[in-house]
């Protein structure tokens, strides 16, 4: 049951998307909500963007955040290694 694929329908920027996967529905809905909110935030700052460019810039924004968190994580892991965890 754990590995069964589920179809979850979410609404992002007034469009419906069906996500197929093994993630819990609550997680998929949370992710969709973050994307929806980010698109609306970026639209407010750039009202003339069409939806494709808006979605691409949203992805750019999130990859930027992602790379920063990833770097912080790497630094923490590195620090943990050098302070001697083994």
Residue ranges that bind its own copies, judged by CB under 8 A? 12-13, 15, 17, 19, 23, 27, 30-32, 34-35, 38-39, 51-53, 55-60, 62-67, 69-70, 72-73, 76-77, 80
Opening angle at CA 32, ends 34 and 5, nearest 5: 145
Give, in order, the Cα–Cα distances in Å from 27 to each of 8, 24, 33, 39, 44: 10, 5, 10, 19, 26
Q: How far is the CB of 67 from its own copies (least distance, A)?
A: 6
Q: How far is the CB of 65 from its own copies (least distance, A)?
A: 6
Closest CB to its own copies among 6 and 77? 77
State how far the Cα of 19 lies from the Cα of 4, in Å rounded to an integer: 13
Closest CB to its own copies among 6 and 27? 27
């Amino acid at each position: 049951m754990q590995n069964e694929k589920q179809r979850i329908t979410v609404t992002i920027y007034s469009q419906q998307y069906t996500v197929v996967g093994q993630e819990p529905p609550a997680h998929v809905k949370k992710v969709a909500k973050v994307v929806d909110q980010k698109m609306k935030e970026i639209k407010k700052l750039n009202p003339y963007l069409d939806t494709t460019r808006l979605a691409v810039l949203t992805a750019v924004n999130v990859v930027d955040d992602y790379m920063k968190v990833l770097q912080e994580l790497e630094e923490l892991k590195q620090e943990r290694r050098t302070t001697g965890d083994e």
